[in-house]
Amino acid sequence: MIVALGSTREPKIRAVRRALDLIKVSVPAFGEGTYQLVSRATPSGTSPTPQSTAELMAGARHRAESLLQMLRSEGEAPVLAIGLEGGIGSENGLDGSPRLFFLESWAYVTNGRSSAFGSSGCLPLPEHVVDAVVNRGEDLGPVANRLYEQEDVAGHQGTFGILTKELVTREEAFVRSLLHALAPFYNETKYRVKDISDAG
């Protein structure tokens, strides 16, 4: 089966391969055989560093749906199209405390008929990162490179990796997002179970 990813970034490609391999081990019938991964750079339609959960979800969906249309126009028929988006989500603080900002990774998967979102969960962001990205409008990748004195953070461990001492890397966060987004596809029967109280 052809699986298409709307990105050519290595951490995202590796995350898709790892997620699919994990699923195949647990659900051998998923996809009925081997898969071919096609990756293309597609626009997110959002700002360089999305700054809300809604924007992250929109970016992941736009990448997947744009890629699906592109490949179909070229005569390709991917079984699944995947969009991955990382950035910042925020929530109002509890009991009047200041607004909270988190690093999040989101995945969107579609086969052209059904679709699903999944996220990695959230990691609290330090105030100096929030100040640079949210308050001053800088892109997260260059900010992480500068603040943590590294090169191409986004292409390697990601800000996830820096902030967790690599217990959770950018790639790991995307693997988790994908396992969640793909659940309705590899565990379809559980998503169709009806509550017995609905009968009769």
> Helix 170-186 vs helix 10-26: angle between axes, to the nearest 10 degrees?
40
pLDDT digits (tens, 9 = 90+) for 113-171: 999 999 999 999 999 999 999 999 999 999 999 999 999 898 889 999 999 999 999 99
- Whether residue 195 is predicted with pLDDT greater than 80 in this model: the reply is no
From residue 23, how far is each of 1, 34, 177, 179, 186 by CA, in Å?
Answer: 14, 12, 13, 8, 7
- Helical H runs in the chain? 10-26, 53-73, 127-130, 140-147, 158-163, 170-186
Q: 32 vs 75, which has greater pLDDT?
A: 75
Give the whole-angstrom CA distance, residue 103 versus residue 3.
27
pLDDT at residue 70, as a whole number: 92
pLDDT at residue 198, as a whole number: 54
Q: What secondary structure, in 3-state letters, does 159-186 show?
A: HHHHHCCCCCCHHHHHHHHHHHHHHHHH
pLDDT at residue 196, as a whole number: 58
pLDDT at residue 155, as a whole number: 86
First to last CA, the chain: 40
Task: Give the pLDDT band of residue 197 (cuts 50, 70, 90).
Answer: low
pLDDT digits (tens, 9 = 90+) for 60-101: 999 999 999 999 999 988 899 999 999 999 988 888 788 899
Cβ neighbours around 82 below 10 Å, total: 31
pLDDT digits (tens, 9 = 90+) for 39-66: 999 989 888 899 999 999 999 999 999 9
- Per-chain mean pLDDT for the chain: 91
Residue 145 tokens read as 């490179």
pLDDT at residue 77, as a whole number: 83
Give the whole-angstrom CA distance, residue 3 versus residue 43.
18
- Whether residue 178 is predicted with pLDDT greater than 60 in this model: the reply is yes
- Whether residue 199 is predicted with pLDDT greater than 80 in this model: the reply is no
